[in-house]
Structure 1
Amino acid sequence: MKKVALYPFNKITQGLIRFRDLLDVEIVSVIDFVFQAGCDAGEFVDGTLSDIFIYASQEEGLAGVDTLILNDPGTSFGGNKGIFDENDLTGLWRKLVTYAVLRGIRVISVHDIYDQDTLSWMKENQIKIEVIHGSRDNLFKDMDARYGTEGSNTERYLKQFENEALMFSIPKKIKRIGIFATRGCIGKFTLQMKLFKEFKKNDIPVTAFITEPTGFLFGQPEGDIFKFLAQRPLEQYPYYIDTIVDHSERNGNEWIIMAGQSSILPTSNIAFNSLRFAMLKSFNPDHVLLIVGFNDDEQIRDAIEILRIYSKRPISLLLPDKIESSYGQYEAYPYERRIARKVELQQKFLIHVDLIEEAADVMNLLLETENASSIAGRGK
């Protein structure tokens, strides 16, 4: 896998474009049947020309590549059913995959494919799509040795009390940064990777614990919940997080950065609410950053309170430059409005506020806060 095409031009693809300098592969092109065809992908993502163009034609988009990376499982999800049905994106996805396979192009999906119609179609047409989970074997081996997975469901449930006590009894030297948000698609991954680059630029050993399904492409540990569920039961996910933190520390890293999935605020899905707070408690961040919007003061208050109860009050709020308004569509916010909102938030919540692109300032705030905490701890 050296020269790759990405499909479609969604937020996962945009993250790969934005941080392509951290990848071991060359992105040659992007294919999208609905949005931004003919545009330079880099210019759309961050305003810089990348010479990576977006094509509506599968023939043009797959020219000169050895691998097609699917950042979409071929079925609707996350509220995009209308666009899928209107543009027959399931049919176009299958035509794209078939075209690639017939030309000997390797096809990789960052998502596990669960849809039975899609799986039946793949079987009938002898289509093979690889799903790469990254270097999980050693992580699972260590997790099993530490927490155990034997016994009946009841025995494993009862053992959770013992395991959770173990998880919190072992002190960790590695400093943990948790990035959360008042809503989804607001820039958590962007801030995470900007901070990751800033730490590395300053020769500070750091791990990015990536909860997007693309961690393997960056050579970093991956925690996408759906890929985890394809291999292990949900109850083991907190142990997996703890094992990643432990691995990062033993590998000599001083910091680890995790961006939570979706919003930190509760939804009507009870299971995912439980998972969200289990992730927060098991990662147990030393420092919390909260990304917020422009008309969500009530949500900000709720998010700060939830973080205060389950973790720590944020040391900073972060403002994005754009927010996804609907599938594939974004609302950009001019600099002047962001600065005005920054002042407003500082006055209203009495908390530090930065813009999401000011990663160097955020890193310095984290280092200063950590140093102050260390000095205070030695003084006790």
Structure 2
Amino acid sequence: MFNFDFYNPTHISFGQGCIAQLEQFVPAEAKVMVLYGGQSAQRTGTLGEVQRALGTRSVYLFGGIEANPTYETLMQAVHIARAEQIDFLLAVGGGSVIDGTKFVAAAVPYPDEPWNILLTGGRDIQAALPIGTVLTLAATGSEMNNGSVITRSTLQSKLPFHSNFVFPKFSMLDPSKSFTLPERQVANGIVDAFVHVIEQYLTYPVNAPVQDRFAEGLLQTLVEQGPLALSQPDDYDVRANLMWVATLALNGLIGAGVPQDWSTHLIGHELTALYGLDHAQTLAIVLPAMMHERRAAKREKLLQYAERVWGIREGDDEQRIDAVIAQTRDFFEGLGVKTRLSDYELDQSAVEAVLRQLEAHGILDLGEHKDIDLAVSRRVLEDCL
């Protein structure tokens, strides 16, 4: 196991009705900006519930954060927050709203052009407004980590940043808030959480059985509970398990002390920025092809994944690896998330466009071994067709 430093200060309040506890977490004198996405937060009553729980605090509403939060929209919130001297941010929504809120939190006190936050990966952030979250969609784990991914539409760039300054102070996780989500969003969330675990688990062995078993348990839970979340949309226990798995998938714990990959995500980001595909759709497209391309580098962990997560024990090594890649693809397809570029009417021209973006963004040494160059990325993308 590698040396590691683990830090996670986010307070989790989990369960039905937990939003009523907001008053205990937000300072009484705070000037609060509540950030949210579309009309669903209002239509379902969640936004009203949040406003009631905030009581007499000064509250400013900012809606319209996109499914892939854009720099252009978020800068509007930054200007308002600066003008109104906002001192607390509250995200109401899924990972996109939370990611966007993290950017606003860092950008408001940032002394230079806020786009530099993305260009530097957040390395020079020295302060941020405090934030809390009310989670409505289990997917990204952003409610309990220090990362964010933002798109600048005018540049067709989707870039991540990380900073301990943007860890949420608290997150309210009420599984019942996910009952009204469209099936597509639920399925996307399952895929997103699954690939988050895979990126930290499916690398190479470093004698870290605690992390391995924890990751395998999360993957097995997603395999079991994911389809149930679609077939039994009002089952509280299913949604509770799904929400907690998604949070644990990317709160830093299973990735501590082990190598991590993230090549599937970084290639997927370019597909989203260029063509507007859902984040989870890009992950479902890229991951099976990446597993196939990297089968030699990931051999030991692929065989472990096949046996421990999917119970695949028959056949020789190559047959079991083939089987588990096919099983992974079938899992995504069974959730209704397609796994080929052609399923989204994309062809070889998309391959060339993504490669140009990877080169322009300097994303040239991906993977746990830092050896996925443009030539390897080309083979992966062409296998995605």
**Normalised by the size of structure 2, how large is the TM-score?**
0.30
* Higher normalized helix content (fraction of residues): 2
TM-score norm. by structure 1 comes to 0.30
Higher strand share: 1
Q: Whose radius of gyration is greater, 1 or 2?
A: 1
**Highest relative contact order (Cα 8 Å, sep 6+), 1 or 2?**
2
